[in-house]
C-alpha cells in the first residue's frame, strides 16, 4: 500500500514537473480540487494548527524602522537610535520592515508588475525558462524541492542570480528585463546599508560584514502564488528559515506571510512602499546566535495571485574558498563558538538537498 502510494506520487510529481507550466498552469486548466501532491500530511497540519489558533491572542507586531536619516549618509553615519532599533529587531524578532529606504515607490510597483507579467506569459514562452539545472543563472521552476518535500507548495518562482558576476540582461525574459536590472542595483545598495547597520548593532566596524563579502552576491526570486481552490489543504510556502546572510522582500498587497514568534504565527502586514527584511541562517551562524534567522511561511489564499520578490544576499555561483563561522570578535570564554565553519557551497548544498522540511539547516552545523 505504502509503496504504491509513493510510486503514484512520483509519477504525479513528474507529470507536474514535465508540464513546465507550474501551479499557474493548473489554475489555467481550471482545476477546482487540489491535486494530491499539494496536500499537507495530517501530522504537518497537527504540528502547526495549534499554533495558528493562538494568533488572535497576541498584540505582537513586526517592527517598522524608518531609514529616512540613514540612507542619505549611509549606514556608517547612522545615529544610535536607528542602530538600536535594528539591534532589537534583529536580535529579538529576526524580522522588520523598513520605510524611507531610498528605493522609489514607482520602481517597487514596476518590479511587482514585471514579476507578475513574467508568470502570466503564455505557457510556451515561460516553458523555455523552466529548468532544474543549477548552473543556469535564470530559472523558472515550481518548488525547488519538489522531489524531496512531503507536499508541494502552491507557488511558482523565477530565480535569477544577479551578482557578483553581472548577469547579461539578455538572459532575462524581456517582460521583466529592464526593471529587474534596475531593481537589482537599488536593492544591492540598500543591502549594503543594512549590513552596515547590522555590523554596528553587533558592536563591529560598519564595514565588517561587507568586508566578509555578505553583500557581494545576490539573487532575486520572483514568487507567484496563484489563487488556490482549497487553501486550507496546502501552503504557499512551507515553514522555513532563509539560506542566506540577509533577505529583503518586496510583497504586494495580498498578505499571507507569517513569522513564528514565541510559538505564534504573526502576520507581516503589507505596508505600501515598505520592504521586509529578515536575518538569514548564515548571519545567525556568524553572530553566534545573537541575530535570529526566524522561521516563516506563506499561507495559501483563494484571493490573488499574490506576487513577491525576495532578494537573497548570498553567493550562489562564486567558487569562493572563504568559510563562514562565528565571528571571532564576538566570541569570549563566556561566549564560545556554537557552530563550525562552513563554505557557502556546503551550506547551500545541504539546505537544497534537505528541502523545506520544517527544520532549520543550522542544526547540522552546530558544534
Contacts with ligand OGA by CB under 6 A lie at 221, 223, 237, 242, 249, 251, 257, 296, 298, 308, 310
Q: Which stretch binds Ni ion (CB under 5 A): 129-137, 138-146, 241-249, 354-362?
A: 241-249
Give the whole-angstrom CA distance, residue 113 versus residue 182: 14
Binding of Ni ion at residue 242 (CB under 5 A)? Answer: yes
* Closer of 145 and 242 to Ni ion (Cβ): 242
Closest CB to Ni ion among 213 and 242?
Answer: 242
Name the minimum Å distance from CB 240 to Ni ion.
6
How many CB atoms neighbour CB 234 within 10 A?
A: 23
C-alpha span between 187 and 68 (Å, rounded)? 16
- Report the alpha-carbon distance of residue 93 to residue 293 in Å, rounded: 9
Q: Is 295 in the site for Ni ion (CB under 5 A)?
A: no
Determine the Cα–Cα distance for residues 248 and 312; give it in Å rounded to an integer: 7
Alpha-carbon 329 to chain mean position? 28
In angstroms, rounded to a whole number, what is the distance separating the alpha carbons of residues 95 and 147?
29
Pick what 161 binds: ligand OGA, Ni ion, none; C-beta below 5 to 8 Å, kind-dependent. none
Nearer to ligand OGA, 190 or 257 (CB): 257
Nearest residue to 346 (alpha-carbon basis) of 310, 313, 322: 322
Yes or no: say if 224 and 307 are a contact pair by the CB < 8 Å rule: yes
Please, what is the minimum distance in Å from the beta carbon of residue 280 to Ni ion? 8
The CA distance from 51 to 285, in Å, is 26
Report if residue 281 touches Ni ion, rule: CB under 5 A.
no
- Smallest distance from ligand OGA to CB 236, Å: 7
Which residue lies nearer to Ni ion by CB, 83 or 161? 161
Which has the closest alpha carbon to 170: 130, 135, 129? Answer: 129
What's the min distance (Å) between Cβ of 249 and ligand OGA? 6
Least distance (Å) between residue 345 CB and ligand OGA: 20
Only one of the segments 25-33, 38-46, 150-158, 240-248 lies at the binding site for Ni ion (rule: CB under 5 A); that segment is 240-248
* Phi-psi label, residue 100: left if phi above 0, alpha if psi -120 to 50, beta otherwise: left
Q: What does 172 bind: Ni ion, ligand OGA, none (CB cut-off 5 to 8 Å by kind)?
A: none
* Angstrom distance (rounded) from CA 183 to CA 181: 6
User: Which of Ni ion, ligand OGA, none lies near 298, with the C-beta cut-off 5 to 8 A by kind?
Assistant: ligand OGA
Between residues 199 and 278, which has the closer beta carbon with respect to Ni ion? Answer: 278
Amino acid at each position: 500500500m505504502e509503496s504504491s502510494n509513493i510510486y503514484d506520487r512520483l509519477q504525479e510529481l513528474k507529470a507536474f514537473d514535465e508540464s513546465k507550466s507550474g501551479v499557474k498552469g493548473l489554475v489555467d486548466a481550471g482545476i477546482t480540487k487540489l491535486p494530491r501532491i499539494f496536500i499537507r500530511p495530517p501530522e504537518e497540519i497537527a504540528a502547526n494548527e495549534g499554533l495558528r489558533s493562538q494568533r488572535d491572542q497576541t498584540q505582537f507586531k513586526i517592527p517598522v524602522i524608518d531609514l529616512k536619516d540613514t540612507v542619505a549618509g549611509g549606514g556608517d553615519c547612522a545615529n544610535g537610535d536607528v542602530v538600536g532599533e535594528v539591534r532589537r529587531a534583529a536580535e529579538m524578532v529576526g524580522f522588520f520592515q523598513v520605510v524611507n529606504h531610498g528605493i522609489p515607490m514607482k520602481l517597487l510597483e514596476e518590479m511587482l508588475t514585471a514579476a507578475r507579467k513574467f508568470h502570466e506569459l503564455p505557457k510556451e514562452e515561460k516553458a523555455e525558462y523552466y529548468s532544474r539545472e543549477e548552473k543556469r543563472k535564470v530559472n523558472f521552476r515550481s518548488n525547488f524541492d519538489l522531489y524531496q518535500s512531503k507536499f508541494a507548495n502552491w507557488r511558482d518562482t523565477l530565480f535569477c542570480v544577479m551578482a557578483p558576476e553581472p548577469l547579461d540582461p539578455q538572459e532575462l525574459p524581456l517582460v521583466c528585463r529592464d526593471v529587474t536590472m534596475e531593481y537589482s542595483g537599488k536593492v544591492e545598495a540598500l543591502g549594503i546599508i543594512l549590513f552596515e547597520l547590522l555590523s554596528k548593532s553587533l558592536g563591529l566596524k560598519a564595514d565588517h560584514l561587507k568586508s566578509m563579502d555578505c553583500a557581494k552576491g545576490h539573487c532575486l526570486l520572483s514568487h507567484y502564488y496563484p489563487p488556490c481552490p482549497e487553501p486550507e489543504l496546502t501552503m504557499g510556502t512551507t515553514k522555513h528559515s532563509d539560506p542566506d546572510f540577509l533577505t529583503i522582500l518586496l510583497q504586494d498587497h495580498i498578505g499571507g506571510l507569517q513569522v513564528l514568534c514565541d510559538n505564534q504565527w504573526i502576520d507581516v502586514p503589507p505596508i505600501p512602499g515598505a520592504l521586509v527584511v529578515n536575518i538569514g541562517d548564515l548571519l545567525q551562524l556568524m553572530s553566534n546566535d545573537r541575530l535570529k534567522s526566524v522561521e516563516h511561511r506563506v499561507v495559501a489564499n483563494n484571493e490573488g495571485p499574490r506576487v513577491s520578490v525576495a532578494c537573497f544576499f548570498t553567493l550562489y555561483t562564486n567558487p569562493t574558498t572563504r568559510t563562514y563561522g562565528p565571528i571571532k570578535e564576538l566570541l569570549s570564554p563566556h561566549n564560545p563558538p556554537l557552530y563550525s565553519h562552513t563554505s557557502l557551497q556546503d551550506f547551500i548544498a545541504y539546505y537544497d538537498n534537505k528541502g523545506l522540511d520544517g527544520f532549520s539547516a543550522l542544526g547540522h552545523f552546530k558544534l
